[in-house]
Amino acid sequence: MTRLVVFVVVVIGFFSITFLDDFKHFPRTNKAFDYQLFKKERNDKLKILVDIEHAKLEALEPKVEKPKPVFTVDLNTEGLKRGHKLYSKCIVCHGKLGKGKKSQNAPKIGGQFNLYLVTQIKDMKSGVRINKIMNPYVKKLSNQDIKDLGEYIAKLPW
Ligand code: HEC
């Protein structure tokens, strides 16, 4: 009987030792367990996982390109409407938004003060200010045209 008990104990002991081997993969260190460090490492890992999920979601969303806002003058007066029409002849040199064109030596006039614009155009028409390039365009303008042009150009972005 005793021999049987010893035999069973030895067999159980043998298997226990082989199973103990399974715990090898646990990190074994003689350093003291640092809970704060453990928490930090775990949070860092979680953050990476969350970032990956976010990136996946972003990739799924269809990319919509926002259209660039187009600048338009609110043509809410008769003067502005006429000014807008008359300005179509000036676009070649001064540009759609009155930003000017280097190739034409034409200065920026968009957003300039109304009074300044009107004075300059009137002076060009009367010959006080000589502007040979613009002369053919200015000659035909009436005082009302000049007033409307000034009103419109002053509304363009500076
Ligand atoms: C053929 C090109 C051309 C066209 C078309 C033209 N301009 Fe000009 N404009 C010029 C040039 C070049 C100057 C600069 C002249 C100078 O050096 O004095 C100028 C100057 C001006 C100035 C003076 C700007 C300043 O800061 O003193 C005003 C205002 C102006 N133009 C308005 C107009 C208007 C309004 C029209 C349309 C009716 C027009 N221009 C059409 C070429 C043009």
Cα-to-chain-centroid distance, residue 75? 29
Superfamily of segment(s) 78-155: Cytochrome c-like domain (1.10.760.10)
d(C-alpha 70, C-alpha 96), whole Å: 12
**Tokens matching residue 151:** 């009103």
Residue nearest to atom 37 of ligand 1 (CA): 90
Per-residue pLDDT of the chain (158 residues; tens, 9 = 90+): 899 999 999 999 888 877 776 666 666 677 888 899 999 999 999 999 999 999 999 888 888 888 888 888 899 999 999 999 999 999 999 999 999 999 999 999 999 999 999 999 999 999 999 999 999 999 999 999 999 999 999 999 99
**How many C-beta neighbours within 10 Å does residue 86 have?**
20
**Tokens matching residue 152:** 């419109």
Q: What is the CA(68)–ligand 1 centre distance, in A?
A: 28
